[in-house]
A and B are shown apart, each in its own frame.
Chain A
Amino acid sequence: MDPVTFLIQSLNGLQYGLLLFLVASGLTLVFGIMGVVNLAHGSFYMIGAYLAFSLSALTGSFFGAVALGIVLSVVFGLLLEWALFSRLYHRDHLDQVLLTYGLILIFEELRSLAVGDDVHSVAMPDFLSASIPLTDTLSYPVYRLFMSGICIVLAMSMYVVIQRTRLGMRIRAGTSNREMAQGLGIDIRLLFRFVFAFGVALAALGGMLAAPVSSVFPGMGSQVLILCFVVVVIGGIGSVWGALLAALLIGFTDTFGKVLFPDYAGLSVYVLMAAILLWRPAGLFGRA
């Protein structure tokens, strides 16, 4: 592999990892803060992508669709937490697995009833549809760079919110010791409700941003879900930094795996996970 190709492949890995981070960060927050296993997280990604498709047809603008989609998914998250997830906090993980598994089936079928099973593409905004020539044959789509930019901005703002604000302090308190935080007068129920809605919105945003490059198709949620799990396992539950590092590791492993040893590319990510588990059972940034 010549150096130029190597650099471009690295860019591919970086870009893939950042998108994965965007989706997985919501999952790790919900895990870490609320202690709830949420198998339906992939469905939120799928719902986001389909929202981008339906809403951009409705509003005629991709960014209009994204803005509206974020609002809708926050509301959707609040409703879900209120109606279902709030009943799960004191149940064991088994009930959580089951209920969210049921939700996946429901969401997939509702999607099928509402939009059908066709594959759709979502038009990207005109000013982002260009490509930047990198070599004499290869150009890099501007939209992919834009997507990575958004992911970086979001990662940085999450860092600021969690480390530097009162809200972030409460979230950190809730993650490390729920009862104590409650004792200190933090309204845990409200905090949970918004954290959950935020997690839904992050996954949905991931789906919306990915829609123009990945197109929208049935089953797109479950592919992402498992990778998100791996991200959370490698990074450590509740750790946003862990999720970022893990997502980037997976992005690079997968990208180079595909080119260097295609037969084992699907496997490589899981081998990486097994190795890290052997070394640190609670993940890179997790507390045992």
Chain B
Amino acid sequence: MRDSQATVRTLLTRAAAATLLALAAIPGAHAQQPKLKVGLMLPATGTFATVGTAISNGFRLAVAEQGGKFAGREIEFFTVDDESDPAKAPENANKLVKRDQVDVLVGTVHSGVAMGMAKVARDNNTLLIIPNAGADEITGPLCAPNIFRTSFTNWQPGYATGKMVAERKHRTVVTLAWKYAAGEQSVAGFKEAFEAGGGKVIKELTLPFPNVEFQPFLTEIAALKPDAVYVFFSGGGAVKFVKDYAAAGLKASIPLYAAGFLTDGTLEAQGDAAQGIMTVLHYADALDNPRNRTFRAAYNKAYKMDPDVFAVQGYDAAQLLDAGVTAVRGDMSRRADLVKAMETARIDSPRGPFVLSKAHNPVQDMYVRRVEGTDNKVIGIAIKGLADPARGCRL
């Protein structure tokens, strides 16, 4: 009866392992550690719903890879749909912080909502990890010891694109973006690097978010005849802009550059119109490193779909939390040590390893990507280890 012997042995091993684990947990004075409460505040409805799902999936994948536990503490999720509505942000964040009393707040996509969350996190001194929203202020004037971000600042891809476009010997550029923080900050980053590189932004066109009637602006661009165009759009607006730009015949005469969101998760819808467009981002689906390959395989296995940059950011948010929680052995009351560990963590991300800046924003490589088929092919690195200047941060 080798089989049953084997079973008995496994059982014994497991029992021993369990005892060991229980013993290991004793220093916390409890035989059974309480669950670690994670509040996921992400959009489940509306325009950003798919982004919210990707982040949640990424986060949960990283947790599952650790057996559902960080430092022996089982992770318990509390979720709130933030609806991408900044007006409801304080209330929604309070639901998690005050009602559910979570140990850490994770979210969100929309910058305005994230600003509201940052406010609640500061007021209650709750640990906050932002897995997407790129508002410069969060790791700028509003930076705080308890606020972290695993994505980017709007400035980062904009600045890197500006440098790249200047290096490609374009002298004049017209910019076009939605008139909201993300668009304005991205264009500001672009302009800073592009003009430092000797170029000149001859006109900054804007349209209200989330307007998508581009035709008058395309006519304007055609009349101005710049060397190149820089835009900031994402999601549905990105799909439409790229198609309109090609349909207006501008693609053939004036090269288009953008922060990577223009061609991320949108290529299937953009089709031929997107071919050859160069963008800059801190990730690319087709990024060729072993870490990315295993991550993509695991994600695909778990969710039966391909991950995107947002899933990576969610995954890294969980990795960052794990680094902190493990360092304090699950004792969240040791806040200073927890923060210290997170600040100094080297996150082994699918985008390539990164560390955090003083303001708690990733210092990361910005990849130059070119659209080929339905892939953003990495063709180089615009800037290695780019850190946001974190203007106004006093950490």
Contacts and interface: CB of A to CB of B under 8 A. Distances in A.
Contact of B216 (A121, A214, A259): A259
Interface in B209-247: 212-213, 215-220, 222-223, 225, 235-236, 239-240, 243-244, 247
A138 B46 contact: no
A152 interface: no
B47 A215 contact: no
Contacts of B49: 116-117
A43 B206 CA distance: 28
Given A218-B46, A219-B47, A119 B207 contact: no
Interface residues of B, number: 37
A232 to B, nearest CB: 20
Most buried by B among A1, A215, A255: A215
Interface stretch (A8-16, A83-91, A171-179, A189-197): A8-16
Contacts of B212: 214-215
A132 B240 CA distance: 19
A254 B218 CA distance: 15
Contacts of A256: 216
Contacts of B46: 117, 218-219
B216 A2 contact: no
B11 interface: no
A131 B208 contact: no
Given A117-B50, A219-B47, A266 B236 contact: no
Contacts of B235: 119, 217
Nearest to B44: A117
A208 B27 CA distance: 65
Interface residues of A, number: 43
Contacts of B344: none
Interface stretch (B134-142, B160-168, B249-257, B375-383): B249-257
B219 A258 contact: no
Majority SS of interface residues in chain B?
Answer: helix
B242 to A, nearest CB: 10
Interface string B244-281: 10011110011000000000001001110000000000
Interface string A181-217: 0000000000000000000000000000000011101
Most buried by A among B46, B206, B219, B244: B219
Given A138-B218, A138-B222, A262-B205, A218 B269 contact: no
A262 B207 contact: yes
Given A119-B269, A141-B248, A265 B240 contact: no
Given A135-B222, A214-B212, A214-B240, A258 B217 contact: yes
Nearest to A141: B247
A131 B249 contact: yes
B50 to A, nearest CB: 6
Contact of A121 (B206, B217, B239, B250): B239
Interface string B177-204: 0010000000000000000000000000
Nearest to A131: B249
B249 A137 contact: yes
A5 interface: yes
B270 A121 contact: yes
Most buried by A among B208, B216, B217: B216
Interface string A107-135: 00000100011111101000001010101
Contacts of A144: 215
Given A140-B248, A262-B207, A266-B208, A215 B219 contact: no
B225 A120 contact: no
Nearest to B208: A266
B219 A138 contact: yes
Contacts of A143: 247
Contacts of A265: 207-208
A139 interface: yes
A262 to B, nearest CB: 6
B13 interface: no
Nearest to A140: B248
A104 to B, nearest CB: 15
- 10 tightest CB-CB pairs across the interface, nearest first? A139-B249, A119-B236, A138-B222, A141-B247, A217-B236, A121-B269, A117-B49, A137-B222, A5-B223, A12-B215
8 contacts: A112-B45, A119-B266, A121-B243, A129-B247, A138-B250, A215-B212, A259-B217, A266-B208
Interface of B: 45-47, 49-50, 179, 205-208, 212-213, 215-220, 222-223, 225, 235-236, 239-240, 243-244, 247-250, 253-254, 266, 269-271
Interface of A: 1-2, 4-5, 8-9, 12, 15-16, 112, 116-121, 123, 129, 131, 133, 135-141, 143-144, 213-215, 217-219, 254-256, 258-259, 262, 265-266
Given A213-B240, A259-B219, 20 more contacts: A1-B223, A9-B216, A12-B215, A12-B216, A117-B46, A118-B50, A131-B247, A135-B222, A135-B223, A137-B250, A141-B244, A141-B247, A144-B215, A213-B243, A215-B239, A217-B236, A218-B47, A258-B207, A258-B213, A262-B207
